[in-house]
């Protein structure tokens, strides 16, 4: 299967691309090297053009940043919305039937929270692009070693062992979850073929990760 991935140097992507490369024909698009064998580097604006003439089966986005890391809301939106959607459109034009998207717990296009509303709008846009299958993965707080400093998330990671046991029932979707588990879940979802929209919260992610262990 020919797979194209963006976000390979991020927290989830670093664990995901080796799993995909071991079983499939993987192409990584990025701004800096990830270590993948087949990789095309350039600015985010250049990524869609990199797929011209390609034929792909599956496209995956694990791309994401924060408003603070991006420096402004506009810069954040350029990554988490515009770059993701431009990639999705290019992948669809290249024949991709299946799209996998890392979103966020609580994503909702009608949310009053700007971050969650944007995530929900991106989900809705991808759903409307004509893919045969779309998997939306909504993890809670991602746990793992980040290459960049995110103070708020560092505090959340430190508190996760104390807070996770308290986040039960519907609140479990906000619990911390290892990025490596999310990567394993994505690797198993990459091989699913049943059509339609499939949304996965923490519980579903853990089940998928265990199946791919």
Residue reference for tokens 């991020």: 10
Of 85, 115, 157, 198, which is the active-site residue? 115
115 is catalytic: yes
- Closest-CA residue to 141 (of 184, 101, 187, 173): 173
- Point out the catalytic residue in the list 92, 119, 133, 208: 119
The residues annotated with a catalytic role in the active site are 115, 119
């Amino acid at each position: 299967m020919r797979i194209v991935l963006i976000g390979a140097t991020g927290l989830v992507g670093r664990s995901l691309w080796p799993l995909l490369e071991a079983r499939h024909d993987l192409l990584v698009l990025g701004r800096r090297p990830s270590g993948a064998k087949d990789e095309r580097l350039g600015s985010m604006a250049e990524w869609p053009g990199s797929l011209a003439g390609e034929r792909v089966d599956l496209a995956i986005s694990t791309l994401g940043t924060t408003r603070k890391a991006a420096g402004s809301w506009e810069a954040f939106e350029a990554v988490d919305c515009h770059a993701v959607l431009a990639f999705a459109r290019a992948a669809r034009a290249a024949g991709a039937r299946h799209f996998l998207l890392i979103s966020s717990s609580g994503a909702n296009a009608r949310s009053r929270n700007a971050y969650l509303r944007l995530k929900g709008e991106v989900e809705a846009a991808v759903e409307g692009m004509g893919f045969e299958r779309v998997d939306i993965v909504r993890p809670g707080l991602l746990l793992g070693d980040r290459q960049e400093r995110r103070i708020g998330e560092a505090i959340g990671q430190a508190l996760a062992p104390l807070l996770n046991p308290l986040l039960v029932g519907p609140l479990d979707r906000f619990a911390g979850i290892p990025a490596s588990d999310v990567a394993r879940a994505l690797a198993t979802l990459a091989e699913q073929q049943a059509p339609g929209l499939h949304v996965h919260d923490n519980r579903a992610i853990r089940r998928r990760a265990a199946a791919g262990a």
